Amino acid sequence: MSPTIGVFALQGDVREHLRVLDAVGAHAMGVRRLGELEQCDGLVIPGGESTTMFKLARTFDLFEPIRQRVKEGMPVFGTCAGMIMLADRVEDGTADQETLGGLDITVRRNAFGRQVASFEGDLDFAGLDDPVHAIFIRAPWVEQAGPGVEVLARIDDDSAAGAAAGRIVAVRQGSLMATSFHPEVGGDDRIHRMFVDLVSSRCLTTGTDTD
């Protein structure tokens, strides 16, 4: 039984997520309209530009419907800009910054620096036996996480990491997951598998039909 998982497709690295979700057995589809969102058991909000994302979501009348689905418990996985979109609070956001909310976290936009400061490295990730090779591109990090938030990964707490040392870069709260980095690139599909399992479990709990 394959859950239907949408990828917010108005902006960001959509194709990569669709490819990985298909590869791990989900029925993946791009979401640009309300009718497509209504078919989804779960949703991925990809990396991209968070301010552009919320404006396009408003323009295409998807912002409030997605926010409502989040409140109703639909599983959502945000990566990079998607983490910002799911955060309740944003540091260094634009004056008109809006988020969908749902994750009791404070994120800092572009915390790791601009595009030229992009980097990659191995991270221990809760629930996975081997480290994840994480790719950070203009990434946020989590400044604060509420008591109900499970921390899934941090930057190594050593001097070589500088200001990033020990920073939270992956979280889960209930049916919401988010990473600062881009698990859809690099060939490691384990985090997507975790999300697909989360969606499938939610479908079983709620009695939602899957294909």
What is the distance between the alpha carbons of residues 20 and 137, in angstroms, rounded to a whole number? 19
- Catalytic pick among 16, 184, 192, 203: 184
Q: For residues 2 and 37, is the Cβ–Cβ distance under 8 A?
A: no
- Catalytic pick among 80, 98, 192, 203: 80
| 19: amino acid identity, one letter | R
| 115: amino acid identity, one letter | Q
User: H helices within 6-144, ranges in order?
Assistant: 14-23, 34-38, 50-59, 63-72, 81-86
Q: 3-state DSSP call for residue 5?
A: strand
Q: In the annotation, is 184 catalytic?
A: yes
Q: In the annotation, is 203 catalytic?
A: no
- Catalytic pick among 16, 98, 182, 203: 182
Q: In the annotation, is 182 catalytic?
A: yes
Q: Report, in angstroms and rounded to the nearest whole number, the Rg of the chain calculated over CA atoms.
A: 16
CA end-to-end distance (rounded Å), the chain: 5
Q: Which residues are catalytic?
A: 80, 182, 184
